[in-house]
Amino acid sequence: MKTLVTGSTGLVGQSLKELAKIDKTKEWVFVTSKDADLCDLTQTNELIKRIAPDAVINLAANVGGLFKNMRQNVEMFEDNLLINMNMMKACHKNGVNKLVSIMSTCIFPDKVEYPIEEDYLHNGPPHESNMGYSYAKRMIDVLSNAYNKQYGTKFVTVVPGNLYGENDQFNLENAHVIPALIHKCYLAKQNNTEFCVSGTGIPLRQFTYVKDLAKVLVWVLESYSMSVPLIVSTEEEVCIQDVVFMIADKLSFEGDISFDLEPSNDGQYQKTVSSGRLKLFYKDMTFTGLDKGLDNTIEWFLYNYENIRK
Name the residues annotated as catalytic: 133
Whole-angstrom Cα distance, residue 68 to residue 239? 21
**Residue 135: Cβ within 10 Å count:** 17
- In DSSP terms, 2 is beta-bridged to 27
Whole-angstrom Cα distance, residue 81 to residue 10? 19
Query: 25: Cβ–Cβ under 8 A, 6 or more apart, which residues?
Result: 1
3-state secondary structure 87-124: HHHHHHHCCCCEEEEECCHHHCCCCCCCCECHHHCCCC
The answer to whether 233 and 296 are in contact (CB under 8 A) is: no
Q: Which amino acid is at 263?
A: P
Peptide bond preceding 115 in cis form (omega within 30 of 0): yes
- The terminus-to-terminus CA distance of the chain in angstroms comes to 35
Cα dist from 231 to 106, 118, 196, 258, 264, whole Å:
12, 7, 32, 34, 27
In this structure, what DSSP letter does residue 252 have? Answer: T
Whole-angstrom Cα distance, residue 286 to residue 297? 18
Q: Which of 80, 96, 134 is nearest to 1 (CA)?
A: 96
The answer to whether 143 and 84 are in contact (CB under 8 A) is: yes
